[in-house]
A and B are shown apart, each in its own frame.
Chain A
Amino acid sequence: MITVSRWRIILVVLATLYGLLFTLPNLLPQSVRDSLPGFLPKQTLNLGLDLQGGSYLLYEVDTAALRTELLTNLVEDTRTTLREASIDFTGLGVVNGEVNVRINDATKVEQATKLLRTSLGAAMATGARDVTVSTAPDQRIRVAYVAQALDAQSAKAVDQSIEVIRRRIDELGTKEPDIRRQGTNRISIAAPGESDPKKLQAIVGQTAKLTFQMVDETADIAQAQQGRVPPGSILVPGDDFQPFYVIKRRALVTGEMLTDASGGFNSQTGRPVVNFRFNGQGAKRFADATAQNVGKRFAIVLDNKVISAPSINEPITGGSGQISGNFTTESANNLAILLRAGALPAPLTIQEQQTVSAELGADAIRAGAVSLIIGGLAIIVFIVLAYGLFGVFAALALVVNVLLILGIMSMTQATLTFPGIAGLILTLAVAVDANVLIYERVRDEAHAGRTPIMALEHGYSRALVSILDANITSAISAIIMFQFGSGPIRGFAWTLLIGVVTSVFTAVVITQVLIGWWFRATKPKSLPIE
């Protein structure tokens, strides 16, 4: 304890320098920050929307596209149902927002109607089915969605979109965005600070619907471009390698079956790729499909565009794979984020882009800042009054603690909100608790008759048990909340975790070094807190 080891001193000095270095940019004006040499950190604290405003995007969920998709699916379901029952039909298609089909055999119309009624659509909350099946003249059957069901689907799509957007923005770090439904089918997104609206748009606006589909090698692309696409296949735009592809409609595997995705590099070409892993179902389906189609090509389709179409050299059974395409490192990482967060249920179109000012008024922010500085000072004054010289040591440790917290928050670009600052003040109070525990222990030991040096030695080592137990408990809850929480909960947990780590370090190690120096310099007969 008294022989302060060299590595400890080095650690304390490095930590203090680190805190200073990373906190300093916050105190410098923008012009000075810009002129700093490149190796110095320039990032400042990322203040929340409540403190500094940010950029605002308004999106509209394309419910028309959603309806079209629902109807397309209904057509396919009708086709499958009738085929499986061996009922011949013609003229299957969408007419006036309804699926329309003509049954060839007049005697089978009734049977087909009943069959479609039971097998199509799903039950709604009211108990009624969400599609109606009715007969029309000329042996025709009409299948239509109930208006209510379409509205419910649209509303669900908006809600799902909000969650997907939140997950995507969460992947960018603790940004604490403000995401709300506006009206019936619009979503407003505000993100704090100079968060690049372009980057935000790249993350938010893409549907990111990923599918793996077989390439239809028998089809003639030139013919398909003139509208003669074989049934069961579709023509989609492609990559640099081949401008158009004809692919099978049926998806082998979809994006929902991915469990993980990350940006990386191909080990042979060194080019950016996206690595992914399937869940159990996806892995099995992909393995089966590749085993049946060795030598053929499959297309990796993102938002109805082929991004690459590799040949299957051998069955892929490992459940993981790699998407290569025309990626940059950034676009590979972005796609990985999108795949992890999931696809949007319907396309989004941007309506408006604005900047917004802080949610709180300047006077409220000023009052808050003043009162919080007073709070910080109150801690320091109180601890110095209570513990004298040792209180000064604790106060110094506290200052380094603040620098470290602000430095790490600047570095990791965690978002600091108004409630976050109040939480920070309480973190500091708990950090002081560590010193109180140590000093009270030292006091006990000294009163039990130990020499100052032994009292310090024992006080520190015994208090450390309590301090570690308490802080490990806090760290556990912070890690869990960061891992499983979303949005502001994650931000809160991250700040808490930073505070726990820096508090233990500063309250224990820094005061120990300071007291060690003081002890060697003065060789005291008794301790100031006895």
Chain B
Amino acid sequence: MKWPLIRILPREFHIDFVRLAPFAAIISALLVLGSIGSFVAQGLNFGIDFVGGTAIEVRTKGPVPLGELRAAVPAAGGHDAQVQGFGRPDTAIVRFRTEGNAFQAAEQVKQKLAVKFPGMEFKPPVVVGPKVSGELMSGGFMALGIALVLMLGYIWFRFQLQFGLGAVVAVFHDIVLTLGLLSITQIEFSMTSIAALLTVIGYSMNEKVITFDRLRENLRKYKTTPLREVINKSENERLSRTLITGSTAILALAGAMFLGGPVLFPLVSTMVFGIVIGTYSSVYVALPIILLWGVKRNDEPAEPLKPASVRP
């Protein structure tokens, strides 16, 4: 019987993960350079949440057709359109970001909307500031920085310093690549992107700790085996878990990615990318750093091994 499916999956694989590390290092380096390059060349496509835009209050004869209006504003040239019913059913507030001369652009959007929605009345456009203020951003970065330092401290305390540094470098790698993706695709960078980024960091950190945990255990178990082989063994033992957890996470988000519509797609695709990258960087950024640095092996107290738990 092949159900549960777990029986199909071998308990231990035999893949030489470490042998691939140099190639992975080259790929990582190229991806990081590409991300930074795109970042410098075109930067992020900051949305209205970050740069602000224009708001116009509109009034229609009957109730405002919010859905149609939402679709019509981008067609009329207003980026990152946000349409909200405002006070009365026949009134709505339209916010959008424009390029170039904000006043002229707003006039243009107004004219196109007036053609599409005959009888629509407009109040004079006003400039709206960003939803994400400077202090919010700098406070957020500070919080993230402190969190990373403390996580490093905790991993140092539970494992060794090189583990903590490996994890933080790997998480940085993930942040850079995720921002790189957002920069290359020019997906609108909004408050939602921040949420996606934080989720990616959380997932990635979780992966690192799970990776280290198996490595630490095997380091205690196989005291004289070279580090390289212990890493390979740990990763092979862990692979079934990594595959199942990774597919669960991606499966959970796949629905939202394909059926969630244009609102969820950028958020969810960023998260899926982050899951893949976070899993990859555990094996090919965090572990190689530890391998190159080396680990202290003999001052760890030997774990009392019972014969049954020694693998064949």
Contact = CB atoms under 8 A, between A and B. Distances in A.
Interface string A171-206: 000000011111110101000000000000000000
Given A56-B86, A473-B206, A371 B256 contact: yes
B154 A422 contact: no
A37 to B, nearest CB: 35
Of B4, B133, B308, B311, the most chain A CB neighbours within 10 A belong to: B4
Contact of B6 (A375, A419, A439): A439
A383 B6 CA distance: 10
A488 interface: yes
A387 interface: yes
A466 B237 CA distance: 14
Interface stretch (B37-45, B180-188, B193-201): B193-201
A492 B252 contact: no
A428 B256 CA distance: 14
Interface string B137-156: 00110111011101100110
B86 A356 contact: yes
A423 interface: yes
Contact of B209 (A448, A473, A529): A473
A484 B137 CA distance: 11
Contact of A356 (B85, B214, B257): B85
Contacts of A458: 309
Interface string A378-408: 1100110111111100000000000000000
Contacts of B148: 477
B125 to A, nearest CB: 10
A389 B271 CA distance: 30
Nearest to A370: B259
Given A182-B129, A466-B210, A485-B140, A444 B237 contact: yes
B159 to A, nearest CB: 9
A368 interface: yes
A359 B134 CA distance: 23
Interface in B87-130: 87, 92-93, 126-130
B82 A432 contact: no
Contact of B248 (A432, A454, A469): A432
Contacts of A425: 252-253, 256
B254 interface: yes
A92 interface: no
B255 interface: yes
A386 B259 contact: no
B191 interface: yes
A386 B6 contact: yes
B256 A422 contact: yes
B140 A162 contact: no
B5 interface: yes
B60 interface: no
A481 to B, nearest CB: 5
B263 interface: yes
Contact of A388 (B3, B253, B259): B3
A470 interface: yes
A489 interface: yes
A473 B151 contact: yes
Contacts of A374: 255-256, 259
Contact of A474 (B93, B205, B267): B205
Contact of B271 (A426, A445, A530): A426
Contact of B5 (A356, A372, A386, A465): A386
Contact of A480 (B146, B196, B263, B264): B146
Nearest to A439: B6
State the main secondary structure of chain A at its contact with B: helix
A448 B136 contact: no
Given A183-B127, A480-B143, A379 B252 contact: yes
B158 interface: yes
B56 to A, nearest CB: 12
A124 to B, nearest CB: 19
Contacts of B214: 466
Of B83, B127, B143, B146, the most chain A CB neighbours within 10 A belong to: B143
Contacts of B295: none
A248 B126 CA distance: 44
B213 interface: yes
Interface string A61-95: 00000000000000000000000000000000000
Q: What's the interface size class on A, roughly?
A: 35 or more
Interface in B250-277: 251-264, 267-268, 271
Nearest to B312: A448
B300 interface: no
A458 B210 CA distance: 17
A486 B86 contact: no
Interface in A449-481: 449-450, 454, 458, 462, 465-466, 469-470, 472-474, 476-477, 480-481
Nearest to B155: A473
B73 interface: no
B15 to A, nearest CB: 17
A436 B83 CA distance: 43
B310 interface: yes
A163 interface: yes
A436 B241 contact: yes
A96 B195 CA distance: 51
A191 to B, nearest CB: 13
Interface in B193-223: 194-196, 198-199, 201-203, 205-206, 209-210, 212-214, 217
A371 B260 contact: yes
Contacts of B66: 357, 361
B301 interface: no
A111 B3 CA distance: 97
Interface string A341-363: 00000000000001111111111
B160 interface: no
A159 interface: yes
Interface of B: 3-7, 11, 52, 55, 66-67, 70, 82-87, 92-93, 126-131, 133-136, 139-140, 142-144, 146-148, 150-151, 154-155, 158, 191-192, 194-196, 198-199, 201-203, 205-206, 209-210, 212-214, 217, 237, 240-241, 244-245, 247-249, 251-264, 267-268, 271, 308-312
Which 5 A/B pairs are nearest by Cβ-Cβ distance? A181-B129, A357-B85, A388-B4, A374-B255, A429-B249
18 contacts: A180-B128, A180-B131, A182-B127, A354-B87, A360-B263, A372-B256, A375-B253, A382-B248, A387-B6, A422-B253, A423-B199, A429-B252, A433-B245, A448-B309, A469-B209, A472-B154, A474-B202, A474-B205
Given A385-B3, A481-B143, 9 more contacts: A53-B85, A186-B126, A371-B259, A419-B267, A422-B271, A443-B11, A454-B308, A488-B136, A496-B198
Interface of A: 53, 56, 159, 162-163, 166, 178-184, 186, 188, 354-364, 367-368, 370-372, 374-376, 378-379, 382-383, 385-391, 418-420, 422-423, 425-426, 428-430, 432-433, 436-437, 439-440, 443-445, 447-450, 454, 458, 462, 465-466, 469-470, 472-474, 476-477, 480-481, 483-489, 492, 496, 528-530
